[in-house]
Amino acid sequence: MLIEKLQKEHPVHWKNATAIRVLTLDAVAAANSGHSGMPMGMADVATVLFFNHLKFDPKTPSWPDRDRLIYRLVMDQCYYTAFCI
């Protein structure tokens, strides 16, 4: 799918994924260290998963039936941080 078509058909997802990429680059630049590859490459996947498929309520973070996203890449802390902001 062409990038222009994605932007046009899914503007909210595009905006959120772009924000993740910008936050990732800002964090790596501020730390003067880090790996930006995984968050940059997976921003679209994470955005669709987080906003379309996971069940959660930000107002009740201890909700026992909420979905959880678990990943095991320690070096990609900025990916997690982007969703917590």
What does the pLDDT look like over 30-69, one tens digit per residue?
888 777 788 788 888 888 888 889 898 889 989 999 998 7
**In angstroms, rounded to a whole number, what is the distance separating the alpha carbons of residues 36 and 53?**
25
| pLDDT confidence tier of residue 83, bands split at 50, 70 and 90 | low
**In angstroms, rounded to a whole number, what is the distance separating the alpha carbons of residues 3 and 82?**
22
**In angstroms, rounded to a whole number, what is the distance separating the alpha carbons of residues 1 and 44?**
13
Task: For residues 13-24, give the mean pLDDT.
Answer: 90
* Between residues 21 and 84, the one the model is more confident about: 21
**Measured in whole angstroms, how far is the alpha carbon of residue 52 from the centre of its chain?**
13
